[in-house]
Amino acid sequence: MRVQIAIDTFDDIFSDFDIRDYKERYISSDFLNELRMRTYKMLNRKNVIICLLIPGQERNGVSEKIIEKRLKDFFKNRYIRNQRRKKEIMVKAIYFECIGILFLFVALFLSKYTFEYFKEFMLIPSWFFVWNGLEKYFDHKKIIDKKITYYSFVSKSSIHFEDSN
């Protein structure tokens, strides 16, 4: 399966505001959005080729190799970063759950020796931490999982340049 994106120059792949060499430039959000839009329905397919069509007079083999490597590294780094972020979300969710349960046990324990009002007051932070932990896990995990799936897909895809003529 092929995904074709037409570009006028290599600069279309990179940010207009960044004038550094191709080895260092930021990748354009317009390019990334276009690529995401074109590949989103293909996430479950294998052997996808991302084909960047560029006019023949603009092609340069050395620059193409650098850009291919940059794109691959960018997608791989985003994949790794989102994997790390998923673990951080999991740890934070578990941390919040533990704090909430701790508040609950403290409230139950101290309610035997203090006013009933104190127990009800301590239930507020308990529920706050429990529900926030669940929210962090379920809501954020779903978003991160989509990003991980996408970046895994594009990092495994091959990238080629071809003449648009």
Distance CA 163, CA 50 (A): 14
Looking at residue 139, its pLDDT comes to: 83
The domain ranges of the chain are 2-163
For residue 153, name the pLDDT band (cuts at 50, 70, 90). confident
Looking at residue 122, its pLDDT comes to: 76
| pLDDT tens, position by position, 27-40 | 888 888 888 888 87
Q: In what order do the strands lie in the sheet with 2-6?
A: 2-6, 49-54, 158-163
Distance CA 122, CA 125 (A): 6
Looking at residue 115, its pLDDT comes to: 67
**Of 41, 44, 61, 29, whose CA–CA distance to 160 is shortest?**
61
Token pair, residue 7, equals 């570009």
pLDDT at 42 over 80: no
Check residues 16 and 4 and name the one with the higher pLDDT: 4
| pLDDT tens, position by position, 118-147 | 777 777 888 888 888 888 888 888 889 888
| pLDDT tens, position by position, 71-119 | 999 999 999 999 999 999 899 888 988 888 888 888 777 777 776 667 7
Count other C-beta atoms under 10 Å from residue 157's C-beta. 22
| 3-state SS record for the chain | CEEEEECCCHHHHECCCCCCCCCCCCECHHHHHHHHHHHHHHCCCCCCEEEEEECHHHCCHHHHHHHHHHHHHHHHHHHHHHHHHHHHHHHHHHHHHHHHHHHHHHHHHHHCCCCHHHHHHHHHHHHHHHHHHHHHHHHHHHHHHHHHHHHHHHHHCEEEEEECC
1: amino acid identity, one letter: M
